[in-house]
Amino acid sequence: MDGPAIVRSGESVDHGLLLTNRTVHGFQIATNGHLTADVVDPKTGEVVGGSFGPQRMPLIVFRVEPGQTQRIPLLIGTDSIEPRLGYDIPAGDWGLQVTLTLGRDDASARRTPILPLTITA
């Protein structure tokens, strides 16, 4: 992460994900200009929300060369998909995960480990 991920419940924030290529080959991350994080329960990994509003869909590719670290824009939202949580994910310590599309097709998608997220009131 490009600094601590802190967002107010009911809001979204633009952040950044730092990706380091530790391989000997370059790779590409396909985006629509940013990645969109899933908010997860850090204990179970269950997806509980994120940002689900409309987004523009241009193909913007970030290339990461061997040994290079690239900052990729990241959208973090607090919309809930779990009725037990209400419309917005409540304040607390949560996790986030991001799906990385390495190339131009979904077959090459990978998930990041669960990263820390703080949602405030």
Tens digit of each residue's pLDDT (9 = 90 or more) over 24-51: 998 899 899 999 999 999 999 999 999 9
Q: What is the mean pLDDT of the chain?
A: 92
Domains of the chain are 6-120 (2.60.40.10)
- The residue among 111 and 54 whose pLDDT is bigger is 111
Asked if residues 74 and 13 have their Cβ atoms less than 8 Å apart, the reply is: no
pLDDT tier, 75 (very low <50, low <70, confident <90, very high otherwise): very high
pLDDT at 106 over 70: no
